[in-house]
Structure 1
């Protein structure tokens, strides 16, 4: 979502609250609970799962290993749900011509990360497009004396037309060249 006036351009950045992350966290949670129930079924000799016959598993080593897998999955699921609840990675890109400053803000685990850049230090808006096994489509700022500063969300690649349009609009607003196309 973008909002713009003559002097301010503000872009919101999607964080970890995406459908794909919710589905992965749910699948890992269900799998972890399933492994723990299979392990408990093996130890107690009673089927605690509605499918299969986990009580027939030998406790050592099968039931024990299933329990370890279950613990690992539950810990991973806890981490994934925490990242989703905190919405890590969400934030804003705010470009203010009146104050002459760009503010990039992202939510982290324990704190908010803010980077303020004078607009005069921005040399260009860079569009990175890489297709293949691990595709990348992102916008970044080329800043004098610093590494390129990414502006778009991490994870799912944005459609190419959307990246190009956002880059062109930002470059036009800032009055800098658009690189990478």
Structure 2
């Protein structure tokens, strides 16, 4: 839910709690669990999974490799479950023309710097920058805010699949609201 008035623009940013992230994490978890069970069954010499007879997979080297990949996958899926539960990357962008302040807030990993909070004066904003990279099947479209003395700060995620028209429209609306030019990279 985004909110906009004549003087204030607040845009909520989705973090790691996306349906696609949840689906991929579940697939990785169950696949890794399957690898661990197959590796364990080859070590024990018993059928823990009835699809594969225990004689088909020898513990050395196939069982060891499957166990290793399964354990590594379980660690990665645990990391992904943590990023989903902590909602890493979520937050908001607030542009206040009345006060002349831009506030950017994002949630990070737990610890000392969990809350990432940046303040800028609107007069320090030089431009809104669009980066478009078409690399084979994947494309990268990111909107940045150029700040005097601080470089460019990304306002959008790299994994958002926008059409070029949607990206241009969002950048144009933001540039108009802030009263700055648009640059394309």
With structure 2 as the length reference, what TM-score do the two structures score? Answer: 0.91
- The offset of 1:135, in angstroms, is 1.4
- Structure 2 residue 122 is the aligned partner of structure 1 residue 116: no
- The size of the alignment, in residue pairs, is 181
- Structure 2 residue 174 is the aligned partner of structure 1 residue 173: no
Give the structure 2 partner of residue 150 of structure 1.
Answer: 154
Q: Which moved more, 1:70-79 or 1:96-105?
A: 96-105
Do the aligned residues in 2 keep the contact of 1:39 with 1:54 (CA within 8 Å)?
Answer: no
Q: Which moved more, 1:147-156 or 1:77-86?
A: 147-156
Give the structure 1 partner of residue 2 of structure 2.
Answer: 2
With structure 1 as the length reference, what TM-score do the two structures score? Answer: 0.93
Mind listing any 5+ residue stretches in structure 1 that lack a counterpart?
Answer: none
Give the structure 2 partner of residue 127 of structure 1.
Answer: 130
Question: What per-residue deviation string (whole Å, max 9, x for no partner) do you get for residues 48-91 of structure 1?
Answer: 12422245422222212211111101001100111111111111
Rate the CA distance shift 1:54–1:159 in 2: closer, same or farther, 3 A.
farther
Give the structure 1 partner of residue 21 of structure 2.
Answer: 21
Rate the CA distance shift 1:130–1:46 in 2: closer, same or farther, 3 A.
same
Within 5 Å, which residues of 2 pair with 1:19-98?
Answer: 19-54=19-54, 56-98=56-98
SS of residue paired to 1:16:
coil
Task: Name the CA distance, whole Å, in 1 between partners of 2:14 and 2:45.
Answer: 47
Rate the CA distance shift 1:54–1:101 in 2: closer, same or farther, 3 A.
farther
Do the aligned residues in 2 keep the contact of 1:138 with 1:157 (CA within 8 Å)?
Answer: no
Question: What per-residue deviation string (whole Å, max 9, x for no partner) do you get for residues 81-127 of structure 1?
Answer: 11111111111110011221101111111101111111100011112
Moved over 3 A (4+): none
Question: What per-residue deviation string (whole Å, max 9, x for no partner) do you get for residues 15-69 of structure 1?
Answer: 1112221222111101110011001111222211242224542222221221111
